[in-house]
Amino acid sequence: MSVIELNMSSESFSTDRKDSWKQSWLLFGFTFVAFAVYSILVVAYDFKDGVRGVVPGADYQSPFYGPDLTGYLSNWPVSLPFALLTLWAPFGFRGTCYYMRRVYYRSVFNSPPGCAVEGFEGRRGKYSGETKFPFFLNNYHKYFLYVAIILGIFHWYELILVVTYNGLYIGVGTIFAFLDALFLTLYISSCHAFRNIFGGSSKRPSKFKYNIWSFISGLNEKHGIFFWLSLFSIWVYDLYIRLVAWGYLTEVRFV
């Protein structure tokens, strides 16, 4: 086996890597920051536009606002966005995701920007593990997973509400609602902690458990892809609802 020696300099971003690591570093960083800014805008400025009923004739609700708790909270202050009630769960789940950690440690904190790439000089030696706020929350990923599983079920329930609205309803937005539920399910079921539930801690798992574990392991290899697909499907679905509600797009109904 041949060994490649990397003679690293200590300057920030120095590396002997010859591949295109910077493209993915830039792309992931840009997308991550853009989604974070969009989410903050959803919460801060656009209070109720994502809530059920903004698309005439259809029953869409932004995935940022699910599950729909508005009916149970008639006393919720009008100045506060409903998204505050629910967003902690998907944000907690995604923020503590192993794949997501890789994205923000590399592309946002540059700590380090990539394998065999030197990080910021000022940050060297400052890594404190996951012991300080908010990073110690990463240790609770499996608990966020349990909440996310419930959330995933609600996304399918939302889809049923959309499709059964006034009898039967299928429009362009329904496709986005379906993709949202599908990709979220794939993202959750390919999670490392989810795989661990099925045999991760067993020395001799049953055949049934082992088969499930093998299936999830196959999904797990594509976890990064499902992460992005799920993120984009939520983003696009929310944006679509808003553009229709604001009159920039017209919903097309098929059925």
Contact positions vs ligand FES (CB under 6 A): 97-99, 141, 191-193, 223
- Least distance to ligand FES, CB of residue 217, Å: 13
Residue among 91, 92, 93, 114 nearest 102 (CA): 114
- Least distance to ligand FES, CB of residue 197, Å: 11
Pair 219, 189: CB distance under 8 Å: yes
- Least distance to ligand FES, CB of residue 209, Å: 19
48 vs 101, which CB is nearer to ligand FES? Answer: 101
- The alpha carbon of residue 25 and the mean position of all alpha carbons in its chain are separated, in whole angstroms, by 18
- Least distance to ligand FES, CB of residue 200, Å: 12
CA–CA gap between residue 100 and residue 187 (Å, rounded): 12
155 vs 223, which CB is nearer to ligand FES? Answer: 223
49 vs 130, which CB is nearer to ligand FES? Answer: 130
- What is the per-residue DSSP string for 92-145? HHHHT-HHHHHHHHHHTS-SSSSTT----GGGTT---TT-STTGGGGGGHHHHH
- Least distance to ligand FES, CB of residue 148, Å: 7
Is 186 strand, coil or helix? Answer: helix
61 vs 96, which CB is nearer to ligand FES? Answer: 96
97 vs 117, which CB is nearer to ligand FES? Answer: 97
Tokens for 71, please give them.
């009916």
Angle between helices 223-245 and 21-44 (to 10 degrees): 40
Helix (H) or strand (E) holding 28, with range, is: helix 21-44
99 vs 228, which CB is nearer to ligand FES? Answer: 99
Pair 128, 111: CB distance under 8 Å: no
Tokens for 165, please give them.
């609205």
Pair 148, 201: CB distance under 8 Å: no
- Least distance to ligand FES, CB of residue 101, Å: 9
